[in-house]
Amino acid sequence: MDDYTVGVLTNIGLISFIALSAYLLILAGEMSFGQQGFFGVGAYVAGVATAMYGIPLPVAAAMAMGAGAAAAFLVGLPTLRLRGLYFAMATLAAAEMLRIVFELIHFQREIEGDPVGPDGTQGFRGIRWVFENGVEPEGYLAMVWGLLFGVMVLFLLVERSKLGTTLRMVGEDPELARMLGVHVERFKLGVVAAAGALAALGGALYAHHNTYIEPRNFDIMLGVHSLAYALIGGLGTAFGPLLGVLVDIGVLEGSRVFQGYRMIVFGGLVAILLVFRPRGLLDEKVVHWLKARFISS
Amino acid sequence: MVKSAIYLVLILSASPAFAQRVQGQLACKPTATDFIYECTIRLARGGQPLSGAALTVGADMPSMPMAHNVKPVKAKPGKAPGEYEAKLDLEMLGEWAVKLRLAGPVKDQLILHYDFDEKGAQPVIRSGRPLRK
Amino acid sequence: MIFDLIQNTFDGLAMGASYALLAVGFTLVFGVLRRVNLSYGPAIMFGCYSATWVSLSFHSNVFSLLGITVLGSVLAGTYVERLCFAPHRQGSAIAAMVASFALWMQFEEVVTLVMPKHLYDFPPMFDGESLAFGPLSLRVEALVMLACALSICYALHRMLFRSRFGLAVRAVIDAPVAAQLAGINVPRILLLVFLLASAIGGLAGWLIVSTHTQVTPMLGMWSTLKGLLAMMIGGLGSLPGAVIGGLALGVLEAHSQWFLGPQARDLIAYLLLFVLLAWRPRWMTTQSAS
């Protein structure tokens, strides 16, 4: 497999993390324009851990997830009682604040005569864990998709369990959930933190794939894109967000026919698709149909 | 004392690229076709030009990092030692993060920011302010 | 020092006037549709780029470019309304907003395909010196922006309360079902309000680019963000709130930037929004359009 294909496939995997993060929140009934902030938190925390303190990647990734969950918790605590658009704007504001904080951080150490670390708008170069540990692009691809697979398994298990039903119920009809004894606020806070951790994991992996991150990587475009992928792919299953990412990056990128017009084509397709399928390609109806046809009762 | 010596040997043997980092520089000329540039890349390591590297050149836009994937091209060795040549096909003008990936014998990756316009590529000197109004 | 404060306040009010106009456009759409149009800024950008293209191809007067900007914004706005908001009128709000985001991507690509440079010059509104009041200087453009913001606000108010169209709009805002039952053509009102908002946005865009004398592709996202921020700071859904929010945002930014730099300027604006949303004072929850 040539380097380019490996790169595209890795990118698909990385973006799926943040798309799944947005999807999780949509299921809980919240629309977030801010998951990119936690993606960024994960990227910076993991990058600092490996490049500046020599912490191995698995530990750094775990630290990143913790940081992402904590940041999301702090954002969610004052804002979860906000409805719809208000919550979306609050998450947007939070993510932009995080991005500006990244622009202001200048924290470097000298390692072998070179300064290493986040340098404000100049970005954070030299996250070279893959080179220092001899990880080939194919190996990293396998690692990213291995983790993604694990996350998907978790999602599928949750969706079939009582937890999954509770999640969707909290999203669709919180009053009903409350009447059935679910502590809606605490539940949602848990979902927000989980989504933050998920996005942060994606960010950590992104930082080490790219070896360089800068605040501009984590702007609103990334956030709204991830929301779009979740919605387009479909809200019926965790495969939905993956499908959304695949459609955009995979098909249109790979075909190269649309070079230069990719966004025009993709944007038009999305708008038209949403007219006919407002809950995405793999929406709940389709998933139900597929399950009925292919999985015996 | 012995334990840390063994540990050091193990680390060093597991990370061959721990030695000095590669530095790079880019000079590009526009061609007759829009958005295609002929670029010369100079690589150096520890002050000496680095020849014989398997260099692949790609580019990305800082905002929405995976949206404008430019197909990476393998660079050919240039005229002088440490020089390589590649033709870059970008989709638009503006600031790009040029990705220089070295596959061997030295493995490393460099990201350089250049502003591409009709005349060529200028290195970006950030003033600490994002390109926003 | 006191003169710095006054100067900053003037500059802030001028910038704030453009934010106010952007916020008014957002509020009109939100008031009748209960949806946020993420393509609002990009449609304005389309208008500004159309005008820039015209100014580069023909010799034009900067005021005729105003007409082109408004026309371009209205055309783009129609496209957005028809594709993103009309089909989802009874349906999902997220779908409409994501669709509007998809069209944002389209506008950005179209604009950079036709005019690929990162920056284009736009003819200035006025070519002269700023006015001077002692140690303070006031740009003529700033006065024009303020005047426009205030007169648009007044005109909207008159329209909403003195015209049949305004009555219909208010009916749709307050009670859409009842309005439909009373015979008001709700989809047509929604389209017209959308177009009106786009036109106001076009005016705001022209004011901004002829003051800064440059056009960049960042204009789309920038206008959307500032308009949204101003609208929410002023209280979602209220027209006077939109204007006050815009002016307040402008002044806050001017002072923040002066004392603390550009990053702090943005940080403080977002922090203010976050704090306001989290603590939700009563005046922020007005939903009516006036």
Annotated domain spans of chain A: 3-219
CB-CB neighbors (< 8 A) of B71 in chain A = 4, 256
CA dihedral A165→A171→A176→A179, nearest 10 degrees, is 80
Instruction: Look up the pTM and report it.
Output: 0.87
Q: What is the pLDDT of residue C281?
A: 62
DSSP C54-92: HHHHS---HHHHHHHHHHHHHHHHHHHIIIIISTTTTS-
Residue closest to A256 by CA, chosen among B91, C272, C264, C91: B91
Q: What tokens appear for A99 in the block? A: 């991005």
Residue closest to A264 by CA, chosen among A272, B71, C127: A272
Q: What tokens appear for B8 in the block? A: 């050091």
| Residue ranges making up the domain that contains C201 | 2-285
Q: What tokens appear for C288 in the block? A: 């009516």
Is B92 close to C222, i.e. CB distance below 8 A?
A: no
Count of C-beta atoms within a 10 Å radius of residue A228:
28
Over residues B58-69, the mean pLDDT reads 70
The answer for residues whose C-beta is within 8 angstroms of residue A88's C-beta and 6 or more apart is A31, A32, A33
Q: What is the pLDDT of residues C231-264, one digit of tens each?
A: 988 877 778 888 999 999 999 999 998 888 888 8
Over residues A171-178, the mean pLDDT reads 89
Is B133 close to C218, i.e. CB distance below 8 A?
A: yes
Residue C176 has pLDDT above 90, yes or no: no
The residue to which tokens 């990227």 are assigned:
A43
Q: What is the pLDDT of residue B15?
A: 38
B53–chain A nearest CA distance, Å: 15
Is C105 close to A89, i.e. CB distance below 8 A?
A: no
CB-CB neighbors (< 8 A) of A51 in chain B = none
Q: What is the pLDDT of residue C79?
A: 94
Residue closest to B113 by CA, chosen among B21, B53, B25, B20: B25
Is B132 close to C117, i.e. CB distance below 8 A?
A: no
Residue B50 has pLDDT above 60, yes or no: yes
Residue C5 has pLDDT above 60, yes or no: yes
Question: Is the Cβ of B62 closer than 8 Å to some Cβ of chain C?
Answer: no
Residues C275, B23: Cα–Cα separation, whole Å: 45
Tally of domains within chain C: 1
Q: What share of chain C is helix, strand, coil (3-state, %, to 5)?
A: 75, 5, 20
Over residues C97-121, the mean pLDDT reads 86
Residues A196, B2: Cα–Cα separation, whole Å: 44
Backbone angles phi, psi at B60, to 5 degrees: -145, 150
Residues C256, C11: Cα–Cα separation, whole Å: 12
Written in H, E and C, the secondary structure of A106-134 is ECCEEECCEEECCEHHHCECCCCHHHHCC
Is C216 close to B133, i.e. CB distance below 8 A?
A: yes
Residue closest to A43 by CA, chosen among A60, A59, A55, A21: A60
- For A97, which of C97, C98, C274 is closest by C-beta distance? C274
- For A11, which of B56, B66, B97 is closest by C-beta distance? B66
Q: What is the pLDDT of residue B128?
A: 40
Residue A42 has pLDDT above 80, yes or no: yes
Selected for mutation to probe chain A from B18, B68, B69, B124 (highest A CB count within 10 Å) is B69
Residue closest to B113 by CA, chosen among B59, B37, B76, B69: B59
Strand duo B94-102 + B108-116: pairing: antiparallel
Residues C52, B121: Cα–Cα separation, whole Å: 25
Selected for mutation to probe chain C from B92, B116, B129 (highest C CB count within 10 Å) is B92
What's the CATH number where C26 sits? 1.10.3470
Band of residue B13 on the pLDDT scale cut at 50, 70, 90 = very low
Q: Does residue C103 belong to any structural domain of this protein?
A: yes
CB-CB neighbors (< 8 A) of A85 in chain C = 36, 93, 236
Radius of gyration from C-alpha coordinates of chain B: 18
Q: What tokens appear for B85 in the block? A: 């040549």
Is C88 close to A263, i.e. CB distance below 8 A?
A: no
Q: Chain A residue with minimal CA distance to C96?
A: A274
Residue C283 has pLDDT above 50, yes or no: yes
Count of C-beta atoms within a 10 Å radius of residue A93:
28
Residues B30, A270: Cα–Cα separation, whole Å: 35
Q: Is the dihedral of CA A212, A216, A221, A227 positive or negative?
A: positive
DSSP B67-124: TSPPPPEEPEE-SSTTEEEEEEE-SSSEEEEEEEEE-SSS-EEEEEEEEE-SS-EEE-
Q: What is the pLDDT of residues A205-243, one digit of tens each?
A: 999 998 899 998 998 889 988 998 999 899 889 999 999
The chain-wide mean pLDDT, for chain B, equals: 75
Q: Chain A residue with minimal CA distance to C113?
A: A260
Contacts 24+ apart (CB under 8 A), A158-162: A159/A237, A159/A238
Widest pairwise Cα distance in chain B: 64
Residue B26 has pLDDT above 70, yes or no: yes
Over residues A91-95, the mean pLDDT reads 94
The chain-wide mean pLDDT, for chain C, equals: 86
Q: Let me know: does C289 contact C173? Beta carbons within 8 Å.
A: yes
Residues A150, A94: Cα–Cα separation, whole Å: 29
- For A264, which of C38, C109, C280 is closest by C-beta distance? C109
Size of interface A-C (CB pairs under 8 A): 113
Task: Reduce the DSSP state of residue C229 to 3 states and report it.
Answer: helix
Best mean pLDDT range from A35-39, C87-91, C156-160: A35-39
Least trusted range by pLDDT, from A72-86, B94-108, C275-289 = C275-289
Question: What's the one-letter identity of residue C113?
Answer: L
Residue closest to C264 by CA, chosen among C252, C272, C275, C256: C256
Choice between C97 and B70, residue whose per-residue pLDDT is larger: C97
A1–chain C nearest CA distance, Å: 31
Question: Is the Cβ of B45 closer than 8 Å to some Cβ of chain A?
Answer: no
Residues A184, A175: Cα–Cα separation, whole Å: 9
Residue closest to C231 by CA, chosen among C213, C245, C216, C220: C245
Selected for mutation to probe chain B from A1, A2, A4 (highest B CB count within 10 Å) is A4
- For C98, which of A93, A228, A261 is closest by C-beta distance? A228
Residues A43, A200: Cα–Cα separation, whole Å: 7
Q: Does residue C237 belong to any structural domain of this protein?
A: yes
Best mean pLDDT range from A115-124, A183-192, A258-267: A183-192
Question: Is the Cβ of A74 closer than 8 Å to some Cβ of chain C?
Answer: no
Over residues A158-172, the mean pLDDT reads 90
Band of residue A255 on the pLDDT scale cut at 50, 70, 90 = low
Band of residue C39 on the pLDDT scale cut at 50, 70, 90 = very high
Question: Is the Cβ of B16 closer than 8 Å to some Cβ of chain A?
Answer: yes
For residue B105, say if its preceding peptide bond is cis, omega within 30 degrees of 0.
yes
Q: Does residue C290 belong to any structural domain of this protein?
A: no
What are the extents of the domains in chain B? 19-122
Q: What is the pLDDT of residue B64?
A: 63
CATH topology for B19-122 is Immunoglobulin-like (2.60.40)
CB-CB neighbors (< 8 A) of B118 in chain C = 117
Residue A172 has pLDDT above 50, yes or no: yes
Residue C6 has pLDDT above 90, yes or no: no
Residues A186, A81: Cα–Cα separation, whole Å: 11
Residues A283, A287: Cα–Cα separation, whole Å: 6
Over residues A71-78, the mean pLDDT reads 94
Is A114 close to B21, i.e. CB distance below 8 A?
A: yes
Residue C285 has pLDDT above 70, yes or no: no
The residue to which tokens 């970005």 are assigned:
A123
- For C117, which of B93, B131, B132 is closest by C-beta distance? B93
Question: Is the Cβ of A284 closer than 8 Å to some Cβ of chain C?
Answer: no
DSSP A186-226: HHHHHHHHHHHHHHHHHHHHHHHHHS-B-GGGGSHHHHHHH
Q: Let me know: does A220 contact C229? Beta carbons within 8 Å.
A: no
The answer for residues whose C-beta is within 8 angstroms of residue B87's C-beta and 6 or more apart is B31, B36, B37, B38, B39, B73
Over residues A153-175, the mean pLDDT reads 91
Band of residue A38 on the pLDDT scale cut at 50, 70, 90 = very high
Residue A181 has pLDDT above 90, yes or no: no
CA dihedral A213→A217→A223→A227, nearest 10 degrees, is -80
Is A90 close to C87, i.e. CB distance below 8 A?
A: no
Residue C64 has pLDDT above 60, yes or no: yes
Residue B131 has pLDDT above 70, yes or no: no
Q: Give the sheet arrangement for strand B108-116, strand by strand.
A: B73-74, B55-60, B94-102, B108-116, B121-123
A228–chain B nearest CA distance, Å: 14
B87–chain C nearest CA distance, Å: 20
Is A217 close to B111, i.e. CB distance below 8 A?
A: no
